Amino acid sequence: MHTLKAVIESTEKNYSAYIENLDGVVATGRTIAEIKENLISAVADFAESCKALKCELPDELKDSDYIIEFKMDVKSLLCLYEGIFTKAGLERITGINQKQLWHYANGISTPRRAQVIKIENALHRLGSELLSVSL
């Protein structure tokens, strides 16, 4: 099974996604769910077009046995959820001060890998906590 790596980035009014190392496969959307759905369709359309045009199909798509792994940069993530997570709330769960988070969200600075991992781990912990609760 092949893993296609998809990158989601923020644009002026929505989000875009593309597959690394697979030119010509892009999608846009206003939500992560919409982007995922659109990118999955774009990959399928790309494969069909290659077959119809009798062009070389990339190895990753030849057997239709692939998964798409989505990743997003910190700036895009912070912009996407700015109406849900306050900088104060993110500071509490990540330990990164609000001013630094603001710099990341506005593209003034880019977090070091250790900071990215800190943010990712904090959000995954929060997600796990939320999934463990029943109402």
The stretch 104-117 carries a mean pLDDT of 95
CB 113 within 8 A of CB 107: no
Whole-number Å distance between alpha carbons of 82 and 77: 8
Q: Pick the most confident of 2-11, 60-69, 124-133.
A: 124-133
Whole-number Å distance between alpha carbons of 96 and 77: 15
Please report, for the chain, the start and end positions of each structural domain, with discontinuous segments joined by +: 2-72, 74-131
pTM, two decimal places? 0.76
The architecture of the domain spanning 74-131 is Orthogonal Bundle (1.10)
Beta bridge partners of 9: 16
* Domain 2-72 identical in fold to domain 74-131: no
Express each pLDDT in 15-71 by its tens digit.
899 999 888 899 999 888 999 999 999 998 988 888 888 888 887 777 777 889 999
The fold of 2-72 is Double Stranded RNA Binding Domain (3.30.160)
The percentage of residues in the chain with a pLDDT greater than 90, rounded to a whole number, is 61
